[in-house]
Amino acid sequence: MSAGSLIPDQQLTFSPDLAATIGLEEAILLQGIGPQLPRTPGQWHALVLSTLEKQFPFWTRARLLELVQRLADLGIIAVVQNNHPNSLRVSIAGQRTTPAQMPEEWQPGSDSLDLLALNHGIDRQFAQAQLATFDRGAADHTRDSRFRQHVLSAWRRQQRDHSAFEVRQPPPFDSHWQPSQDARDIMSRAGINADFIERVRPEFILYWRERGGPPREVESRFVSFVRDRWLRHTSGLNHSTEPTRLQRNWQPREDVFDVLANAGISRDYALEKVPEFVLFWCETNELQRSWDSKFVQHVKHQWRWEQRQETGNGREQGGGDLGGTHRTRERSTVDDLNDTSWAG
């Protein structure tokens, strides 16, 4: 590759102070679209998503939409859905989208109150008290978002003006980390039982610890993670109300391979693990409610372990073809199957 090809044709800049306030990705996006936002009150700009994808090729469209919504939730911009699926209408925050009046009896949705509690620690009593000063001038689908912005602004003013205000330190993110009661209540209302939440909690902690630490909005990320796992649990894998022993002719259901494929694990790789899995658990004679789930956990753990080994030892193993089928085993099958470190 020539030296000239390494020189970028466009520089992306951001303000360190802005990034420290609203987040690095949000700051980069805001400064990228800022020149396009109209400065005259009442004007809107059509933000073309395909153009944004070219301007920010390191983000997917889904991530771009998340960041745009994040800027709206922070009260920086206002967003409404355009008729065209490839664009959004955006404006600086505080502009009304329509002169229609909102009914006086309107109340914020439960999801909005949950988001305020999870992401900002704002309790429902404080949020609902802000209805008295909330501008009810626009009866459209953005009113929940505008209400969150209104509450967040009031909350920040209170924090700034309250001399006794202290920033609460988040709990340590280690193997003992637990979701808040607010998060548990949200998951409980979705029909997710406490035992299932506890079973998937170690996987969530391991995932983020391997990436350097928890996300900024760890509570809402955990709720989304559990909801996703619960959906797979209830609609994909076979679960029995009574525990059973594994039979020697056991084979995973087709749904198992779909779940593993979502984690980037191929069907061929999973099938390689079936014989040793069956041999080990038939000999232990243990009972399980779902051998499919047990197999998914085993294959995921093996996959992560082998990827780490190959990444660290690829050169010592004759070139380390990461995509090939050759793997140098450094521990026994019994160690693999009996290893429960994934749950720690």
Domain boundaries, the chain: 13-94+110-160, 172-235, 242-315+327-344
Q: Using pLDDT thresholds of 50, 70 and 90, give the confidence band for residue 86.
A: confident
Whole-angstrom distance, CA of residue 91 vs CA of residue 79: 7
Q: Is the pLDDT of residue 166 over 60?
A: no
Which range of 104-113, 115-124, 241-250, 278-287 scores highest in mean pLDDT? It is 278-287
80 three-state secondary structure: strand
Please identify which residue in the block is written with the tokens 């209540």: 185
Q: Using pLDDT thresholds of 50, 70 and 90, give the confidence band for residue 170.
A: low
φ and ψ at 287, to 5 degrees? -105, 140
Q: How many CA atoms lie within 13 A of 191 on its CB side?
A: 6
Q: Measure CA 315 to chain center.
A: 34
CATH class of 13-94+110-160: mainly alpha
Tokens of 240: 């029995």
pLDDT for position 164: 45
Our CA angle for 326, 328, 332, nearest 5°, is: 125
pLDDT in tens, 93-145: 654 444 344 444 567 878 788 888 888 888 888 888 888 787 766 556 677 88
Q: Is the pLDDT of residue 214 over 70?
A: yes
Whole-angstrom distance, CA of residue 183 vs CA of residue 221: 10
Whole-angstrom distance, CA of residue 109 vs CA of residue 113: 7
pLDDT for position 223: 93
CB 244 within 8 A of CB 207: no
CB 122 within 8 A of CB 152: yes
Strand stretches in 274-342, DSSP E = 287-288
Rounded to two decimals, what is the model's pTM?
Answer: 0.29
Q: Using pLDDT thresholds of 50, 70 and 90, give the confidence band for residue 334.
A: low
Bridge partner residues of 48 (DSSP) = 87
Q: Is the pLDDT of residue 167 over 80?
A: no
Tokens of 280: 């080990």
pLDDT for position 163: 47
pLDDT for position 198: 92
Buried b (16+ CB within 10 A) or exposed e, 219-229: bbbbbebbeeb
pLDDT in tens, 23-58: 888 888 888 887 777 766 557 777 788 888 888 888
pLDDT for position 25: 86
Q: Using pLDDT thresholds of 50, 70 and 90, give the confidence band for residue 80.
A: confident
Q: What is the mean pLDDT of the chain?
A: 76
What's the Cα-to-Cα distance from 180 to each of 92, 184, 187, 215, rounded to whole Å?
A: 34, 6, 11, 15
